């Protein structure tokens, strides 16, 4: 890990709003002094992911992962610590010292690829609006795309030529341009050439607004008509959504997302005011993409051509429906309502045959598009219609349809949706809805599997309550550190994470609790620290708590001394049993120490007299003899 001064790290933390940073990936809602949302690092249905804005800390009580802004970005974007520091320093406008040596040691290469893509995007945008970009601008005008929208989305133009981007980005090595997907290695001879030539380019950004890929649209007979960046260390098309960075706030506000298939469909939807729209990057939307949207909303609406709705819905349902984890999801809560928190409703809005969102909006406008959205219906409803319609009237075919419908319902996470669909399907199949519901529940139980944990699950046991509360007090109070640390022996702390936190506080006693994150050496300690910081459990008043812990620690310390004295007494008795003379002062000293310690700790005072006595010879030495 590269070395940065605590002052610089503190400046960066102060300049980055942890709620804003985490909120780019998680839909956060206020919960007391914290914010709460679904954890981005493991699959869960009930939010257990907490963010403390005052302390700049996050912690998931479901999987145990926690940390500060650096730790979040490292885990979310798979960055090294130096990379996360540099990214956040840039956001916070904090100047870093020259750390090229540390950069070389800690840089995974992703940071350079981000710089390459940023430079390429700036070049392509400049080319679109400069001389030579007339053909692309004519296309935008023909499609009715407003120049302001084109600029907001970062549209660009890749000029004709085989070595244009290589010549434009002279500050980067050829290997970096290949890794970023901008250059293609020639197959039959040495050298490279531009991947994008003579195409309108759509910049694909991640949730932080960083360009990670391009989609290129040809104008003539070029094949393919759309050419996308390949998979790179920055880009996996099944995990990202086009315009998600621009649509995120609207998705949260409206609690829904609109998914379209094409770049132009997405631009046109935004242009007409439907700013909650994203595109699936030229692929059918995936479960991973829905997982991203699930962090921000409860409903997703996609658009199908009316003629192909049934077939497309059936295909999507098979792709997206997976067995639910964590046991039966069709539970009923104590209020008597269905309990299916965290589920995402996927609906379909039908467009007239031959239309896509782009053409429909230009022909029917906002009002017509709004009506189609209002009339949207469950994706599974269309899929079930197709399944039932294909069955025919033969008895065996109806039995097969019953089984297929029950299996599909068994994979539905939303209990209310499953109940409604089962009634609808039972009516069309001519069977009892209760029978269908029971069969679906039976299949769901057989399909159960543990929820997949993406992050690091908590494997260590919870700390003892005494240790947890003691460390929480040390984190919160400077007075407690001064009064209690001298009494503490870290080796006596059972929980490894708590022990490391105490050792770190003793090493840097002036550090605030969030600043300790960068001082800790293990994830276990960082996760334990984040849990303590975001915990809203009220603490006893400092002075009272300090006195209580002081007495407890002093008793523990004295008990240790008492054990040593008792051991000394035992040794005296053992020696006395062998009739080896001992100085009576040693016995008296041990007896006195034992009495004092027992008075402080409480309990009876051990006596040496039952086992030893002084010599009866008044003239002889005062030795110690055993009773025979």
**CATH number, domain at 90?**
3.90.580.10
d(CA 413, CA 228): 33
Under the banding of pLDDT at 50, 70 and 90, the label for residue 619 is very low
The verdict on residue 136 lying in a domain is yes
Torsion region of 141: left, alpha or beta (phi above 0 gives left; psi -120 to 50 gives alpha): alpha
Range of the domain at 336: 298-447
SS3 per-residue string spanning 115-158: HHHHHHHHHHHHHHHCCCCHHHHHHHHHCCCCHHHHHHCCCEEE
Q: What is the dihedral of CA 14, 20, 23, 24, to 10 degrees?
A: -110
pLDDT of residue 231: 92
Residue 529 near residue 55, CB atoms below 8 Å? no
pLDDT reading at 12 higher than 70: yes
Tell me the average pLDDT across 404-411. 82
The verdict on residue 276 lying in a domain is no
Under the banding of pLDDT at 50, 70 and 90, the label for residue 169 is very high
302 and 419: one domain? Answer: yes
427 and 475: one domain? Answer: no
CATH for 204: 3.90.980.10
b/e per residue, 218-256, with b = 16+ CB within 10 A? beeeeeeeebbbeebebbebeebbbbbbbbbebbbebeb
Tell me the average pLDDT across 184-189. 90
470 and 561: one domain? Answer: no
351 and 405: one domain? Answer: yes
319 and 442: one domain? Answer: yes
Q: Residue 141's CB: how many other CB atoms inside 10 A?
A: 12
The verdict on residue 339 lying in a domain is yes
Q: What's CA 237's distance to the chain center, in Å?
A: 19
Among 174-188, 233-247, 336-350, name the one with the lowest average pLDDT. Answer: 336-350
Among 31-45, 273-287, 311-325, name the one with the lowest average pLDDT. Answer: 311-325
φ/ψ (deg, to 5) at 264: -65, -35
129 and 97: one domain? Answer: no
318 and 435: one domain? Answer: yes
144 and 174: one domain? Answer: yes
The verdict on residue 454 lying in a domain is no
The verdict on residue 426 lying in a domain is yes
Specify the 3-state DSSP secondary structure of 188: coil
| % of the chain at pLDDT higher than 90 | 30
The count of structural domains within the chain is 5
Under the banding of pLDDT at 50, 70 and 90, the label for residue 484 is confident
53 and 65: one domain? Answer: yes
Higher pLDDT, 177 or 568: 177
Listed as own residue / partner, the contacts of 206-211 with beta carbons closer than 8 Å and 24 or more positions apart are 206/234, 206/240, 206/245, 207/24, 207/25, 207/244, 207/245, 207/248, 207/292, 208/24, 208/77, 208/245, 209/245, 210/114, 210/117, 210/118, 210/234, 211/114, 211/117, 211/118, 211/120, 211/121, 211/154
Looking at 90, 106, 122, the residue that finishes a domain is 106
pLDDT of residue 194: 96
336 and 383: one domain? Answer: yes
Encode pLDDT of 55-99 as tens digits.
899 999 888 899 999 999 988 888 888 888 988 988 888 888 765
Specify the 3-state DSSP secondary structure of 493: coil
The verdict on residue 557 lying in a domain is yes
Cβ burial of 53 (10 Å; 0-12, 13-18, 19+) is middle
Sign of CA dihedral 229, 230, 234, 236: positive
- Give the residue from 486, 450, 443, 489 showing the smallest Cα distance to 467: 489
d(CA 107, CA 1): 10
pLDDT reading at 542 higher than 90: no
The verdict on residue 127 lying in a domain is yes
pLDDT of residue 315: 66
535 and 488: one domain? Answer: yes
Residue 128 in tokens: 């679109």
* Average of per-residue pLDDT values in the chain: 80
Order across the sheet with 257-260: list the strands.
277-279, 257-260, 299-305, 345-351, 377-378
Residue that has been written with the tokens 């005062």 in this structure: 622
d(CA 275, CA 27): 17
329 and 399: one domain? Answer: yes
The verdict on residue 286 lying in a domain is no
Residue 306 in tokens: 């009316």
Cβ burial of 450 (10 Å; 0-12, 13-18, 19+) is exposed
Beta-bridged to residue 341, according to DSSP, are none
Looking at 447, 477, 500, the residue that finishes a domain is 447
Looking at 517, 539, 561, the residue that finishes a domain is 539
Sign of CA dihedral 12, 17, 23, 27: positive
CA distances from 259 to 249, 265, 276, 388 (A): 15, 10, 9, 27
């Amino acid at each position: 890990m590269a070395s940065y001064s605590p002052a610089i790290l503190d400046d960066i933390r102060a300049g980055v709003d942890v709620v804003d940073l985490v909120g780019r990936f998680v839909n956060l809602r206020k919960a007391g002094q914290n914010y709460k949302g679904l954890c981005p690092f493991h699959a869960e249905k009930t939010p257990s992911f907490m963010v403390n804005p005052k302390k700049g800390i996050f912690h998931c009580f479901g999987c145990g992962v926690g940390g500060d802004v650096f730790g979040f970005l490292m885990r979310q974007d798979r960055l090294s610590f130096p990379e996360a520091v540099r990214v956040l320093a840039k956001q916070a406008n904090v100047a870093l010292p020259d750390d090229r040596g540390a950069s070389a040691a800690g840089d995974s290469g992703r940071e350079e690829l981000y710089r390459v893509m940023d430079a390429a995007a700036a070049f392509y945008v400049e080319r679109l609006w400069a001389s030579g970009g007339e053909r692309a601008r004519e296309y935008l005008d023909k499609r009715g795309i407003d120049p302001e929208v084109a600029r907001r989305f970062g549209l660009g133009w890749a000029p004709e030529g085989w070595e244009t981007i290589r010549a434009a980005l002279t500050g980067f090595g050829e290997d970096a341009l290949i890794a970023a997907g901008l250059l293609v290695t020639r197959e039959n001879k040495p050298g490279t050439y531009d991947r994008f030539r003579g195409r309108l380019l759509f910049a694909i950004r991640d949730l932080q607004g960083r360009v990670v890929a391009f989609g290129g649209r040809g104008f003539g007979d070029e094949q393919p008509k759309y050419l996308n960046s390949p998979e790179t260390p920055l880009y996996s098309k099944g995990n990202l959504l086009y315009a998600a960075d621009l649509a995120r706030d609207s998705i949260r506000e409206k609690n829904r997302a609109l998914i379209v298939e094409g770049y132009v469909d997405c631009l046109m939807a935004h242009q007409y005011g439907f700013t909650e729209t994203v595109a699936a990057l030229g692929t059918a939307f995936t479960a991973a993409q829905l997982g991203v949207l699930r962090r921000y909303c409860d409903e997703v609406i996609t658009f199908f051509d009316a003629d192909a709705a049934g077939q497309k819905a059936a295909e999507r349902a098979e792709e997206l429906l997976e067995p639910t984890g964590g046991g039966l999801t069709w539970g009923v809560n104590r209020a008597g309502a269905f309990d299916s928190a965290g589920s995402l409703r996927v609906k379909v809005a039908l467009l007239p045959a031959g239309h896509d969102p782009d053409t429909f909006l230009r022909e029917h406008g906002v009002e017509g598009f709004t009506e189609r959205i209002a009339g949207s219906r469950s994706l599974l409803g269309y899929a079930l219609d197709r399944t039932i319609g294909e069955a025919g009237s033969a008895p065996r075919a109806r039995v097969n349809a019953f089984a297929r419908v029950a299996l599909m319902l068994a994979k539905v996470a939303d209990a209310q949706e499953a109940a409604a669909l089962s009634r609808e399907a039972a009516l069309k199949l001519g069977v009892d809805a209760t029978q269908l519901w029971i069969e679906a529940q039976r299949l769901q139980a057989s399909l159960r599997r543990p929820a997949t944990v993406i992050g690091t699950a908590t494997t260590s046991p919870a700390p003892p309550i005494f240790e947890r509360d003691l460390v929480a007090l040390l984190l919160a109070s400077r007075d407690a550190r001064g009064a209690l640390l001298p009494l503490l022996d870290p080796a006596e702390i059972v929980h490894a994470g708590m022990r490391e936190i105490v050792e770190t506080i003793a090493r840097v006693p002036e550090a605030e609790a969030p600043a300790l994150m960068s001082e800790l050496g293990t994830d276990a300690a960082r996760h334990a620290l984040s849990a303590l910081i975001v915990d809203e459990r009220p603490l006893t008043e400092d002075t009272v708590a300090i006195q209580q812990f002081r007495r407890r620690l002093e008793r523990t310390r004295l008990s240790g001394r008492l054990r040593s004295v008792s051991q000394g007494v035992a040794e005296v008795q053992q020696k006395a049993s062998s009739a080896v003379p001992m100085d009576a002062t040693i016995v008296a000293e041990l007896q006195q120490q034992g009495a004092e310690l027992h008075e402080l700790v409480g309990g009876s005072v051990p006596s040496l007299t039952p086992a030893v006595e002084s010599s009866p010879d008044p003239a002889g030495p005062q030795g110690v003899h055993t009773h025979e």
